[in-house]
Amino acid sequence: MVITVALDRAADARRWIERAEPTHPSLVDEGHVLADRYHMVNVPTVVWIDEDGRIARPNDVAFTTEQGGKYAGVSTADQMALLRRWVAGEAPPAAPAMPASGAGGPTAEAGLARAHFGLGWWLFEQGRGDAANRHFSVAGELAPEDFTIRRGTMRFRGADPFGPEFMQMVAEWHAGGNRYYLPLPVE
């Protein structure tokens, strides 16, 4: 079964979900609980969970189109072939022991960053934008690799999370010798 989850506000995600007309459950996680639980630091991200509720393959970048895959340097065809083999019971999910973030799992700093992000979100909803922005800044400084936080705060700061500020942020990240996506191996 496929379930999609938007890490966004329901009002913002609704148009994308309606436009896609999914035939599977599509949920919205306004509080980023899913990202916290599975240490998701970027989107789109997939997690394979088996019928016993165990993580068969930890969070990984995945796209539904080759165009998206080219942006991240992954092959959608290879990912889909691996998924089909796993579902058919023909191959293990080939999951390494660490999340795709390459960080080896959440650190204390990452947890603190998520706490600042959550507090900032709450403050923003209470109409306290200046206080919220201070916590968003701290969250981004503590976990610069966590684009669910850095990108997720853009709309609160009046920036388009798909616009020039986002593209500049990614360019600066790349210029620092970092990869924006760290896909898991498919073999």
Given a cut of 70, is residue 11 above it in pLDDT?
A: yes
CB 173 within 8 A of CB 165: no
pLDDT for residue 179 is more than 90: no
- Report pLDDT digits (tens) over 103-154: 456 788 988 999 999 999 899 999 999 999 999 999 999 999 888 888 888 8
Specify the pTM. Answer: 0.76
Whole-number Å distance between alpha carbons of 186 and 58: 12
**Dist CA 85 CA 63 (whole Å):** 18
**Relative orientation angle of helices 108-125 and 129-142, to the nearest 10 degrees:** 160
